[in-house]
Each structure stands twice: as C-alpha cells, then as structure tokens.
Structure 1
Amino acid sequence: MIHKFQRVGVFIDIQNLYHSAKHLYGARVNYRELIKELVVDRQLIRAIGYAVKSETVFGEAAFFDALTKTGIELRIKDLQIFPGGLKKADWDVGMAVDAIRMASFLDTVILVTGDGDFLPLVEYLKWGLGREVEVAAFGRSASAKLKEAADFFVDLEKIPKVILKK
C-alpha cells in the first residue's frame, strides 16, 4: 500500500534497462519520468544507478552526466576484458549489497531490473528483512520468477512516458 510517509529506495540496473529498451523498442529510457512514476507520492530516500563504463561507447559520458542530473546517484564500474576477449561487467553483487545495507532505512525497496539473478535478493529483503519489494522492468524481457516473487511488479511497457522513441 502506498502512503506519503513510505520511505523508498530505488536501485537501477542501468545496463539491463538500457539494453531491454534498445532491443525491444529501439528506444531509450526517460530516467526522470521513471523515478517520478515509481516513487509516486512517497518519500524518496535514495536512487542509485549501477552502470558499466566502456571506453569504446560514443556518448557514454554525456549519458552518465544526464543520469546524474536526474538525481540518480551513479555507481560506475569499468568493463573488464580478459585474455581471449571475454568481457565481464555486472553490478549484481554491488546492487544487492547496497539494497541490503539500506533496507533498515526503507519501507519499500524498488529494484529496476528484469534480471532473474536478483531473485534471492527479493526473497531475502521480503522474508529476511520484512521489506516490501517492488520490481520494475519491461514485462516482455523480465524474469517470470522475479515478477512473481515481488510484492508488486511495475511493467514499464505500460508507462509510455518512460519509453523515449528514437
């Protein structure tokens, strides 16, 4: 149940959201509208975005600046390239640790990701810490188990202001 004194933390898997919007719609995400639509009339304690930096992506610095200007605290990790060309960069553990650390200051944790790897986090926040957990993602690409485990699932496809057509 949403009420104006409800303390909310928003944790955004930038890579997951960016690539889902790009591949499903050929579009971008309006992060300002995203935060506004998710928080509604509640009290936003913190919004953190988790991103991976690649030296080869044109316009990436401007994208990160734009995210910061929307009020999102950005955590950036460099893309790791291993011998043989394998590339690795994910924030799953960092995002999970931050959500658990902040949970005592929040009534509701909003995870903006469709990645099923976050299922144990959702379960721990709900059953271990007694927090309400909302998951926001594009319904077509989100893990069915993650959607099911959340107290509430927000299908971003149903919020037109969040999707910016190119």
Structure 2
Amino acid sequence: MFVYPNERIALFIDGANLYATSKSLGFDIDYKRLLEHFRKKGQLVRALYYTALAEDQEYSSIRPLIDWLDYNGYSMVTKPTKEFTDSAGRRKVKGNMDIELTVDAMRLADSLDHIILFSGDGDFRSLVAALQEKGRRVSVVSTLQTQPPMVADELRRQADQFVDLADLEAQIAREGGRPAPQRERFSRGSSGGQRPIAEPVPFDNADEFEGEDEL
C-alpha cells in the first residue's frame, strides 16, 4: 500500500466484513500490529472500528475484543442488533453499520488526506466517490483471493487504490500459526460484495443471521 509520509490517514474498519475476510484467507488479525503498521505509514489520525452488538446476551465472544480495542488506540462505534421476523416467519437479526461509517467518514474528511476502508461491501462505492469529490484519496482493503471475491467489483474499481488483505498478512496477522480455513455462508448485498450471515462469525459480529438455530 502506498501512503505519502505526510498524509493524514484514518482507518475505517467494517468489523464483521474484515473478520469474515481474514477468516476466509485463513488468518486472524492482530489489531495491535495493524495499528503499528499504519502508524509507520503516515500520520494516523483515527482508527475506527464498527460492529453491532447483541446487548441482551449475558456473554458475547466479541466483547473482550471490543474492550481491548477501546483501550488500545481504536475508536469503537457500536449499536444494538435488531431482531425481526421476515415474510416467511423466520427470525432474523440485523446489525448493519454502513450508515454510521459513512456519516463519520464524511464528517472527518476535511481533517484527512487519505481514508483507508477495510470492507468489500459494494454499498460503500458512493461513499468512496463522495470522498474523492472532496479531494481525498481512498484505499480499499479486502480480497480477490476467495471464490467468490469478498470485494464488490464496483467498489474495487472506484477506489484510488485496492489492497488485497492477503498481501498484508505478514504485517498484521496474529502470530502463532494460521487457523484452519473455515467454511462460511454469505449473502450478496444490494451493491455486490459478500456479507457474512452465519458461522463462524459470532452472533453479534455479523450483519444478518437466519433461523433459530443461529440465535
């Protein structure tokens, strides 16, 4: 990834999307290493992590990570998941953070030179275009090395720079070996890209789940 040394940069991390992408590539993210990597690249202004949480659960597997990130240089943006019943009578839980990420990116754009977006969600293409109209560079981090690719083609093409997460593994992967690749189920968003909807993403870290067995 090319970053000018004097650039003011910010990381916008779609937590569920990054989790699914790294798992599909067979490694876990070391968020301390990730932060240190980008601090060396330029003038890191903010690192924001977005995820939805199920507040009614006594214990959530994502909460230890959320607490650690909150005390170690990341700005956490969370909201409760919403439960509803679809037309087929199936219970679903939804926790999409796209609006929150978009609002923050536009709000902070004037104090930044380079936005680095960790997501493959095609719904962010319009955000990238709007940031570019404001004269900001935008890099997208996702992967083409899965089948189907985790990044939506329109998002990848809109970005000033696309970085495959696999190429960052040596710099940001958690040390101690690669976990076995896990099979996941995805749904395609309205603008392409892959959204994790079930295993092995924790209940509170995915955009949407179906069925009582997954609740």
Normalised TM-score (structure 1): 0.88
Q: 1:90 aligns with which of 93, 96, 101?
A: 96
Does the CA contact (< 8 Å) of 1:8 and 1:39 recur in 2?
Answer: no
Does the CA contact (< 8 Å) of 1:3 and 1:42 recur in 2?
Answer: yes
Q: State the partner residue of 2:3.
A: 2
Shift in Å, 1:120? 0.4
Identity over aligned pairs, percent: 32
In our comparison, the structure showing a higher alpha carbon Rg is 2
- SS class of match (2:45): strand
Shift in Å, 1:20? 2.0
Does the CA contact (< 8 Å) of 1:8 and 1:46 recur in 2?
Answer: yes
Residue 149 (structure 2) pairs with residue 143 (structure 1): no
Structure 1 portions without partners, runs of 5+? none
How has the CA–CA distance of structure 1 residues 70 and 42 changed in structure 2, closer, same or farther, with 3 Å as cutoff? same
Structure 2 portions without partners, runs of 5+? 180-215
Cα deviations by residue, 1:9-56 (Å, 9 ceiling, x for unpaired)? 11100011112222x135321222223334543101111100111237
Does the CA contact (< 8 Å) of 1:31 and 1:70 recur in 2?
Answer: no
How has the CA–CA distance of structure 1 residues 56 and 149 changed in structure 2, closer, same or farther, with 3 Å as cutoff? farther
Higher helix share: 1
How has the CA–CA distance of structure 1 residues 139 and 34 changed in structure 2, closer, same or farther, with 3 Å as cutoff? farther
- SS class of match (1:82): strand
Q: State the partner residue of 2:69.
A: 67
**What is the identity, as a one-letter code, of the residue corresponding to 1:113?**
S
- SS class of match (1:27): coil
Shift in Å, 1:110? 0.9
